[in-house]
């Protein structure tokens, strides 16, 4: 057992909710070798995060309770050097292990940091909690940690940013310069400025780096990363994965990486445990899991993520592999989990076996037919500036969010809009529906200039222009039941009854809401329920139903699947395609994930720093990108295959 740093045996966790017991984790067992990465993968509700919290003894009590099991940790600290069962430790003794020897990166970094304290203060606090050092020494170590996680640039880069240096200057020449005490003082002042920043002043990727720095502050033996890249740009996600790999190898640290995306697991993990309904249904090396998955649930997770190399008419879903096993039928779930591997006829992991592939010739013909029509939306030289206030509330300068963007969208088309966070995608989408006032340029919808519309004409226009927001929970009123949320736009709209009667569904708002709920895969009886009673995927379906309430022609999908499990994401993407065909919709589909955009889109538009990098047919953009920035986005897409070191 000397090479095993953590062994979990028969772990079970229950939650008591409204008089019922929910078995969140059921007889889970696994081992974690020293210096390796264990990937725990599964959908939301599979028990993976509860398993990770159990290792830290952080399961909330009540309502949660660890009912049985053992968690053996091989303590190699100088004070102990023994193997202990963490579940038998008193809470006071367990606190000595949290953060110092077993540390955790939580899923939502912004909610994990206190917004009223600077990042430096919180990092220094973590350091002083586990090490007996002065404030000055803690700040010095905090700067070193932020440089290690590559949030603070190296001294040479800081010096280059401070003064004009010829690019031909060698590192040795620069190193000699920065030894000057005056220059060192300036560099240190630059470093200190990073410690003085608040969480809201950092991007999502930067905040995640601060969380990683806090987690490794005491040089832990085990790092637990719970969905550390969810909803991050693919480029930022790639840098975080590279960073974790580098830290693991440099510090000889073991990692438990929790995620719903097997594509990410392939980039990092040595061994993989697949969880479903609180149980581990399959475990093995990364190469075994990806080359020869045995359980249908594993094959479903592998297949339901869009593959940029193929264009499918419909994405496979978990139900295709699990024979629609219902989570409401525990007995059926148990039978499915205990069943033998499926027959060889159904063991393929190729999504094309479950879905029709669309040929390049078909896409060319479709694009030709679409572009022969008059454009539904025409955007010319659009610019959006945001003022930055200075002293006494006066405008000091402007930030350019959208910079001279022009394009057209044709009826029935899906135009994909891709780029990193901050590139202007969401601002552009909201400007098109006039939630943001454009600074310059023109927007034509169905040949009509809508750039300066106000009042009733603008409200009438929005019957035809709708948007599905990124966060389904915050875009639904928690005090309003689902039926009321869907009927609200119909009740506000003027003379909408006749318009709805001409579209799909009935003219009566309640009948229309019931029809739309059923059409997006929910029960009409759900109209009485409230948003908090639904899962993330179900809430997104409700938002889609609400966007279709007024029978629009044009819908903007703003990162509408970015934070969903890959399996739920596949269901929502399939649904959007079906609804486009049924309701004759035109989409602008916004995302940072080029693989998802390519599955949905006829053409793709790439944005960077508010400007249009390139626009063209989806297959052309993916296979033959013209811009270096587009190639960078494509290279950052998880391959879904183990790395060379893992396969060896």
Tokens of 400: 């350019």
Phi, psi of 28 (to 5 degrees): -90, 135
**Calpha distance 94→12 (Å, rounded):** 19
Write down the pLDDT at residue 291.
85
Name the least confident of 118-132, 151-165, 496-510, 588-602.
496-510
Write down the pLDDT at residue 408.
95
**Is residue 567's pLDDT more than 60?**
yes
Q: Which of 565, 634, 5, 643 is nearest to 268 (CA)?
A: 643
Write down the pLDDT at residue 81.
67
10 Å Cβ neighbour count for 477?
12
**Calpha distance 516→504 (Å, rounded):** 9
Write down the pLDDT at residue 338.
38
Q: Kindly provide the b/e burial profile for residues 260-274, where b requires at least 16 CB atoms within 10 angstroms of the residue's own CB.
A: bbbbbbbbbbbbbbb
**Is residue 639's pLDDT more than 90?**
no
Residues 6+ apart with CB under 8 A from 501: 507
Write down the pLDDT at residue 346.
38
Name the least confident of 58-67, 305-314, 323-332.
323-332
Q: Which of 134, 163, 152, 133 is nearest to 193 (CA)?
A: 152
C-alpha distance across the termini of the chain, in Å:
23
Q: Which of 315, 321, 266, 226 is nearest to 568 (CA)?
A: 315
Mean pLDDT of 65-86: 80
pLDDT confidence of 382, banded at 50, 70, 90?
very high
Q: Are 39 and 272 in contact (CB under 8 A)?
A: yes
Q: Are 241 and 233 in contact (CB under 8 A)?
A: no
**Is residue 469's pLDDT more than 50?**
yes
**Calpha distance 240→238 (Å, rounded):** 5
**Is residue 350's pLDDT more than 80?**
no
Instruction: List, as one string, the DSSP characters of 268-328.
Output: H-SEEEEEETTEEEEEEEHHHHHHS--SHHHHHHHHSS--TT--BSS---HHHHHTS--TT
Between β-strands 4-17 and 611-617, what pairing exists: parallel, antiparallel or unpaired? unpaired
10 Å Cβ neighbour count for 623?
13
Name the least confident of 248-257, 287-296, 423-432, 494-503.
494-503
Residues 6+ apart with CB under 8 A from 592: 233, 234, 418, 419, 420, 421, 425, 559, 562
Residues 6+ apart with CB under 8 A from 101: 73, 75, 77, 218, 220, 221, 222
CA 142-243-132 angle, to 5 degrees, is 25
Write down the pLDDT at residue 343.
32
Write down the pLDDT at residue 243.
83
User: 109 or 608, which is more confident?
Assistant: 608
Write down the pLDDT at residue 327.
40
pLDDT confidence of 29, banded at 50, 70, 90?
very high
Write down the pLDDT at residue 227.
83
Q: Are 190 and 127 in contact (CB under 8 A)?
A: no
Q: Are 402 and 428 in contact (CB under 8 A)?
A: yes
**Is residue 60's pLDDT more than 50?**
yes
Write down the pLDDT at residue 341.
35
pLDDT confidence of 428, banded at 50, 70, 90?
very high
Q: Is 250 exposed, middle or buried (0-12, 13-18, 19+ CB in 10 A)?
A: exposed
DSSP 353: G
Mean pLDDT of 501-506: 49
Mean pLDDT of 253-268: 86
Residues 6+ apart with CB under 8 A from 511: 505
CA 33-149-120 angle, to 5 degrees, is 120
Mean pLDDT of 377-382: 94
What would you report as the CA-atom Rg of the chain, rounded to the nearest whole angstrom? 27
Q: Is 227 exposed, middle or buried (0-12, 13-18, 19+ CB in 10 A)?
A: buried
**Is residue 48's pLDDT more than 80?**
yes
Q: What share of the chain in percent tops pLDDT 90?
A: 22
Name the least confident of 169-173, 206-210, 324-328, 548-552.
324-328
10 Å Cβ neighbour count for 611?
16
Please name every residue paired with 612 in a beta bridge, in sequence order, or none if there are none: 607
**Is residue 130's pLDDT more than 80?**
no
H-helix or E-strand spanning residue 539: helix 536-547
CA 26-530-573 angle, to 5 degrees, is 70
**Calpha distance 376→579 (Å, rounded):** 18
**Calpha distance 543→435 (Å, rounded):** 17
Mean pLDDT of 353-367: 80
Mean pLDDT rounded to a whole number for the chain: 81
Mean pLDDT of 320-325: 63
How far, in Å, are 73, 97, 129 from residue 76 at the CA level? Answer: 9, 12, 20
* Highest mean pLDDT, choosing among 31-40, 566-575, 638-647: 31-40
**Calpha distance 487→524 (Å, rounded):** 13
Phi, psi of 90 (to 5 degrees): -60, 155
The CA-based diameter of the chain, rounded to the nearest angstrom, is 78
**Calpha distance 73→350 (Å, rounded):** 39
pLDDT confidence of 273, banded at 50, 70, 90?
very high
Tokens of 15: 């939650």
pTM for this structure?
A: 0.76
């Amino acid at each position: 057992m000397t090479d095993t740093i953590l062994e979990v045996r028969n772990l079970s966790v229950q939650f008591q909710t409204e008089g019922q017991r929910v078995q969140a984790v059921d007889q889970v067992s696994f081992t974690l070798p020293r210096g390796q990465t264990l990937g725990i993968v599964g959908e939301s509700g599979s028990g993976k995060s509860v398993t990770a919290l159990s290792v830290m003894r952080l399961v909330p009590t009540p309502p949660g309770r660890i009912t049985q099991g053992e968690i053996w940790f091989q303590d190699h600290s100088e004070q102990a050097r023994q193997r202990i069962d963490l579940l038998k430790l008193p809470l006071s003794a367990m606190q000595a292990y949290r953060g110092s020897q077993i540390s955790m990166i939580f899923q939502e970094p912004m909610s994990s940091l206190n917004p009223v304290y600077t990042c430096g203060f919180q990092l220094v606090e973590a350091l002083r909690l586990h090490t007996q050092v002065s404030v000055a020494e803690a700040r010095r170590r905090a700067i070193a940690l932020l440089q290690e996680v590559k949030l603070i640039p190296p001294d040479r880069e800081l010096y280059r940013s401070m003064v004009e240096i010829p690019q031909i200057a060698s590192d040795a020449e620069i190193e000699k310069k920065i030894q000057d005490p005056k220059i060192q003082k300036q560099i240190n002042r630059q470093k200190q400025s990073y410690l003085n920043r608040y969480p809201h002043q950092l991007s999502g990727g930067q905040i995640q780096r601060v969380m990683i720095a806090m987690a490794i502050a005491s040089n832990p033996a085990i790092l637990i990363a719970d969905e550390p890249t969810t909803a991050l740009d693919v480029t930022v996600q790639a840098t975080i994965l590279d960073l974790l790999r580098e830290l693991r190898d440099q510090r000889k640290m073991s990692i438990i990486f929790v995620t719903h995306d097997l594509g990410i697991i392939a980039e990092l993990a040595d061994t993989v445990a697949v969880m479903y309904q609180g149980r581990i249904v399959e475990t093995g090396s990364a190469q075994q899991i990806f080359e020869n998955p045995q359980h249908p649930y594993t094959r479903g997770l592998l297949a339901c993520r869009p593959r940029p190399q193929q264009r499918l008419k419909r994405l496979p879903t978990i139900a295709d592999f699990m024979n629609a096993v219902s989570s409401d039928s525990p007995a059926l779930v148990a039978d499915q989990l205990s069943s033998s591997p499926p027959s060889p006829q159904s063991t393929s992991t190729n999504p094309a076996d479950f879905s029709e592939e669309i040929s390049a010739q078909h896409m060319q013909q479709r694009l030709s037919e679409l572009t022969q029509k008059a454009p539904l939306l025409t955007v010319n030289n659009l610019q959006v500036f945001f003022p930055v206030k200075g002293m006494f509330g006066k405008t000091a300068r402007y930030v350019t969010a959208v910079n001279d963007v022009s394009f057209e969208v044709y009826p029935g088309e899906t135009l994909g809009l891709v780029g990193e966070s901050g590139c202007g995608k969401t601002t552009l989408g909201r400007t098109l529906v006039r939630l943001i006032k454009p600074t310059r340029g023109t927007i034509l919808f169905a040949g009509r200039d809508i750039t300066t519309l106000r009042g009733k004409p603008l409200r009438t226009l929005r019957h035809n222009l709708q948007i599905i927001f990124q966060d389904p929970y915050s875009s639904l009123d928690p005090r309003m039941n689902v039926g009321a949320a869907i009927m609200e736009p119909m009740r506000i709209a003027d003379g909408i009854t006749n318009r709805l009667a001409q579209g799909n569904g009935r003219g009566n708002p309640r009948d229309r809401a019931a029809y739309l709920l059923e059409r997006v895969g929910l029960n009409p009886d759900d109209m009485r329920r409230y948003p908090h009673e639904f899962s993330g995927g179900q809430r997104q379906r409700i938002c889609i139903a609400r966007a279709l309430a007024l029978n629009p022609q044009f819908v903007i999908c703003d990162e509408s699947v970015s934070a969903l499990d890959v399996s739920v994401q596949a269901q929502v993407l399939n649904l959007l395609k079906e609804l486009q065909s049924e309701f004759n919709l035109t989409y602008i589909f916004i995302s940072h994930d080029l693989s998802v955009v390519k599955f949905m889109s006829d053409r793709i538009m790439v944005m960077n720093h508010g400007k249009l990098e390139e626009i063209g047919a989806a297959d052309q953009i993916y296979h033959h990108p013209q811009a270096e920035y587009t190639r960078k986005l494509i290279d950052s897409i998880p391959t879904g295959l183990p790395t060379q070191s893992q396969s060896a």
